[in-house]
């Protein structure tokens, strides 16, 4: 069976056939950088990292994830001490660091909205020329605004299968110069209370882009008028993705062939909310849990399902990874490997794993295959069949590498190294404390024996300023 992917627009699983054989273009709506990333951002980015990883086993993938660095919320969160552009850049770096921490690969291109203003102007001009957009009257309080005329486009509502007349207008949107309350801004005229640095010249007057036009322009710029996959969180389906689809197709672009949306995250059964004090920031969870554990926990559920995060979620992920790590290390030791634990390099993933991933990224079923292999591998080792165990370890390594959760891969071993250093420091400090107690009791033979044990391990002690410091071979 070939790869099947759930298309939100079709509301059905579809056989995945890329626009160009052997190549895939993916556009994912990235963060609006008005504040730092939370756990929902990590889950969403990870869902498309897994999609990308699986497609890269058989295709060359161009992966575009944008940064919305100009927006109402960015301007609202700026301060006199930190202008909007500085805030946006600081938050962009925070997102990049959080993504990298859990092993999310950097995108092929990561354009900022502010770098594609000319392309937005071009698209808006096309929509006006085609009769699908209009500028607000010059003598109105909305002078400089340009709106998409939703009633001019019969296909509006195609993504979410909603009738325009049944839709409620955005309660937060101002009517201003709109012909219809459902019309949405493509360009926002400059306002006196907004900073002059957030203004660009345009054919319709100085101003800044609307939210939706940014993604349509950047997707076209980096992937062309038609591409394979458009992704984002389920909360973006309406109005953001609906509006993207309308304006791009109204401009004549075929746009995305598949629409893919990941499920949302709750915490202890409740939607994240600052008022409920359950808003889990990425930096907080990464300070409390190993990044690999966070990756496993956020990726273990099916990408389209809702994911409820509790302490148990991370505890179970840690236990699962310990089982995988323990088997791979044991197979390396008893199978005559060189000790790196990545046995039988180049092994292919098991067919059952492939079938699970081909069925709309069935990660839960794929993980079940991995853990079944771990059990079989340990059984083989218990029976003394090191050859069978080594072959199984090769498959486990291959499968976990695809999912980015091989605990013995180099990127995660670096994390393990820091944990090992912490454990060693705890042990050495304990011996130093025992030596100090012996010296206080004037038990010099005991103090010397402890120092000799430490020295035999290649560790040097230095007594200075009332404290003892240790180093390995004097380093």
Q: What is the pLDDT of residues 304-328, one digit of tens each?
A: 999 999 999 999 999 999 999 999 9
Residue 305, token pair as written in the block: 């399902």
Residue 302, token pair as written in the block: 């099916």
Mean pLDDT of the chain: 91
Kindly state the average pLDDT of the residues 448-471. 78
**Count of CB atoms situated within 10 Å of the CB of 449:** 14
The reply to whether omega before 239 is within 30° of 0 (cis) is yes
pLDDT of residue 339: 47
Q: What's the distance, CA 39 to chain centroid?
A: 9
Q: Rounded to 10 degrees, what is the CA torsion of 225, 5, 412, 336?
A: -130
C-alpha–C-alpha distance, residues 5 and 47, integer Å: 13
Residue 212, token pair as written in the block: 């939706």
Least confident of 18-27, 207-216, 398-407, 409-418: 409-418
Phi/psi for 404 (5° steps) reads 75, 25
C-alpha–C-alpha distance, residues 116 and 220, integer Å: 11
> Which spans in 56-167 are helix H?
72-77, 84-101, 117-129
The helix (H) or strand (E) run that includes residue 427 is: helix 410-440
Q: Helix or strand or coil: residue 451?
A: helix
CA angle 297, 303, 305 (to 5 degrees): 95
pLDDT of residue 423: 66
Of 272, 330, 285, whose CA–CA distance to 311 is shortest? 285
The residue that leads in pLDDT, 166 or 321, is: 321
pLDDT of residue 115: 97
Residue 71, token pair as written in the block: 């927006």
Is the predicted pLDDT of residue 122 greater than 70, yes or no? yes
Model confidence pLDDT, tens digit, residues 273-303? 666 777 899 999 999 999 999 999 999 999 9
Place of tokens 């207008």: 169
Place of tokens 């054919």: 203
**What are the chain's domains?**
17-267 (3.40.50.620), 311-407 (1.20.120.640), 411-472 (no CATH)
């Amino acid at each position: 069976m070939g790869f099947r992917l759930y298309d939100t627009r079709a509301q059905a699983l579809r056989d995945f056939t890329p626009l160009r054989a052997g190549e895939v273009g993916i556009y994912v709506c990235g963060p609006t950088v008005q504040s730092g990333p939370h756990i929902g951002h990590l889950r969403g980015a990870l869902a498309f990292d897994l999609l990308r990883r699986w497609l890269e086993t058989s295709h060359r993938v161009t992966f575009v994830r944008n940064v919305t660095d100009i927006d109402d919320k960015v301007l609202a969160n700026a301060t006199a001490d930190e202008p909007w552009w500085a805030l946006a850049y600081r938050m962009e770096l925070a997102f990049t660091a959080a993504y990298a921490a859990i092993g999310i690969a950097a995108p092929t291109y990561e354009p900022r909205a502010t770098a594609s203003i000319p392309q937005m102007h071009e698209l808006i001009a096309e929509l006006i020329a085609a009769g699908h957009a209009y500028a607000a009257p010059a003598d109105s309080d909305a002078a400089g605004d340009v709106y998409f005329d939703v009633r001019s486009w019969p296909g509006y509502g195609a993504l979410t299968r909603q009738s325009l007349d049944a839709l409620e207008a955005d309660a937060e949107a101002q009517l201003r110069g709109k012909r219809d309350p459902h019309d949405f801004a493509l360009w926002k005229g400059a306002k006196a209370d907004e900073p002059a640095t957030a203004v660009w010249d345009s054919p319709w007057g100085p101003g800044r882009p609307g939210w939706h036009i940014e993604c349509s322009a950047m997707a076209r710029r980096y992937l062309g008028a038609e591409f394979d996959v458009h992704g984002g969180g389920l909360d973006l389906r309406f109005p953001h993705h609906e509006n993207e689809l309308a304006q791009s197709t109204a401009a004549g672009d075929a746009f995305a062939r598949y629409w893919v949306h990941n499920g949302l995250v709750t915490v202890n059964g409740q939607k994240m909310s600052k008022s409920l004090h359950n808003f889990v920031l990425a930096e907080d969870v990464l300070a409390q849990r190993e990044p690999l554990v966070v990756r496993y926990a956020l990726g273990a559920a099916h990408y389209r399902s809702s994911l409820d995060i509790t302490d148990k979620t991370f505890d179970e992920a840690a236990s699962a990874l310990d089982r995988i790590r323990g088997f791979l290390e044991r197979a390396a030791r008893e199978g005559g490997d060189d000790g790196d634990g990545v046995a039988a390099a180049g092994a292919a993933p098991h067919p059952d794993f492939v079938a699970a991933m081909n069925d709309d990224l069935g990660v839960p079923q794929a993980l079940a295959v991995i853990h079944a292999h771990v059990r079989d591998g340990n059984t083989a080792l218990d029976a003394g069949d090191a050859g069978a165990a080594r072959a199984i370890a090769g498959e486990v390594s291959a499968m976990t590498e695809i999912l980015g959760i091989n605990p013995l891969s180099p990127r995660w071993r670096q994390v393990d190294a820091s944990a090992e250093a912490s454990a060693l420091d705890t042990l050495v400090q304990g011996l130093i404390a025992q030596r100090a107690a012996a010296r206080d009791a004037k038990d010099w033979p005991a103090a010397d024996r402890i120092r000799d044990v430490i020295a035999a391990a290649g560790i040097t002690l230095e007594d200075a300023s009332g404290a003892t410091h240790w180093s390995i071979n004097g380093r």
